[in-house]
Amino acid sequence: MSLPPLVEPAAELTVDEVRRYSRHLIIPDVGMAGQKRLKNAKVLCVGAGGLGSPALMYLAAAGVGTLGIIDFDVVDESNLQRQIIHGQSDVGRPKAESAAATVREINPLVDVVIHNTALTTENVMEIFSGYDLIVDGTDNFATRYMVNDAAVLLGKPYVWGSIYRFDGQASVFWAEHGPCYRCLYPEPPPPGMVPSCAEGGVLGVLCASIGSIQVNEAIKLLTGIGDPLVGRLMIYDALEMKYRDVKVRKDPECVLCGKNPTVTELLEDYEAFCGTISDEAAEAASGSTITAQELKAMQDGGEDIFLIDVREQNEYEIVSIPGATLIPKGEFLNGSALEKLPQDKRIVLHCKSGARSAEALAIVKNAGFSDAVHVGGGVLSWVKTVDPSLPSY
């Protein structure tokens, strides 16, 4: 469906801009009018990571006049496999600042606005209100629902993308002309059901595939050309090299954008709404969580424990805590792990950060291992506080 241009054109292009954007200007559908609209546009990229990297770089190259970058994280060496806006010299630097430097190098004519902060319910409405279009490159459900809700409440469109291993998705959500994210996903998945990229991995180049599609959709919306992905979900399989479209209809009963909405303001706590871990896991972990240092003290003191790593084999091969036995979380979910647990030793579980081990802990406790514990912070905490010589990921 064709939509009107999102922004009005700027008054003029300078000689330098005409020279820089000449390959756009000779495209009849873009031309001088379309490039002037890009110059006048204000676009915010939520996240300067895997999807944000190509999105920011191509938005800058395309001549979007004002680019906002919001990210509170710092560049880690493990980011460099896919977050191409950052380089080796940027490790330890705030991502928003690193990304801004690259954007300015690509196109010094772009006005870059840095938001070196976490996006929260306290600031999202104010930040979003200063932009015409949002490009969502987040990797967690809590932020995705918050971005969607804020965009709908402010009447703004946003371009959404998602990546995992070899698969990607993209769509445009604009409640005024079609569905919102809640129409597609009314409820977040159960805690632990969908692994994050940090748990399951992502093919680095997939970020470029989906991120460039997001920019393509942004340009179409800003200039009013083509048929945007409003009401359509694009699904990409990199292994099979296949794209397919799925129609997404506006849900008349949507709690946010339906005929009788019940969500008329931001939720108080999106983390709680999405349930980072299940209630059972949270209850099991309460009073049964130890630190990495406490685990080290147990080992050094010769305590009779059975240490279990509930991650996947490929994660275990990257880095493991000495003495840990690998029993992936899936074996706890299907019950096969329980027969492997000794009755005469205290069970200690860990994963990468503590979420998966908390879920496994709930199962173990329900099976009668009442003194079982898990390691808060998991391998990441062990590497940080006990043995920094080990690799992180």
Q: Residues 161-194: pLDDT tens digits?
A: 999 999 999 999 999 999 999 999 998 886 656 6
The verdict on whether 351 is a catalytic residue reads yes
As a whole number, mean pLDDT of residues 266-274 equals 86
pLDDT at 277 over 90: no
User: Would you state the pLDDT for residue 131?
Assistant: 98
Percent above pLDDT 90 for the chain: 86
The verdict on whether 274 is a catalytic residue reads no
As a whole number, mean pLDDT of residues 124-144 equals 95
Token output for 335: 């019950």
Domain with CATH 3.40.50.720 in the chain: 15-274
Indicate the CATH number for domain 15-274: 3.40.50.720
As a whole number, mean pLDDT of residues 312-322 equals 92
User: Would you state the pLDDT for residue 275?
Assistant: 65
User: Would you state the pLDDT for residue 69?
Assistant: 98
User: Would you state the pLDDT for residue 392?
Assistant: 80
63-109 tens-digit pLDDT: 999 999 999 999 999 899 999 999 999 999 999 999 999 999 999 99
User: Would you state the pLDDT for residue 201?
Assistant: 80
Mean pLDDT score across all residues of the chain: 94
This prediction's pTM: 0.82
User: Would you state the pLDDT for residue 281?
Assistant: 87
Residues present in the chain in total: 393
- C-alpha 15: how far from its chain's center? 39
Rounded CA-CA distance 97/104 in Å is 11
pLDDT band at 148 (very low <50, low <70, confident <90, very high): very high
184-234 tens-digit pLDDT: 999 888 665 666 666 678 899 999 999 999 999 999 999 999 999 999 999
Is 247 within 8 Å of 232 (Cβ atoms)? yes
Q: What spatial distance separates the first Cα and last Cα of the chain, rounded to whole Å? A: 43
User: Would you state the pLDDT for residue 191?
Assistant: 63
Angle between helices 204-223 and 52-62 (to 10 degrees): 40
Indicate the CATH number for domain 279-386: 3.40.250.10
The catalytic residue among 45, 183, 197, 207 is 197
User: Would you state the pLDDT for residue 230?
Assistant: 97
Domain with CATH 3.40.250.10 in the chain: 279-386
Token output for 28: 């009849």
What is the three-state SS of 297-332? HHHHCCCCEEEEECCCHHHHHHCCCCCCEECCHHHH
User: Would you state the pLDDT for residue 300?
Assistant: 94
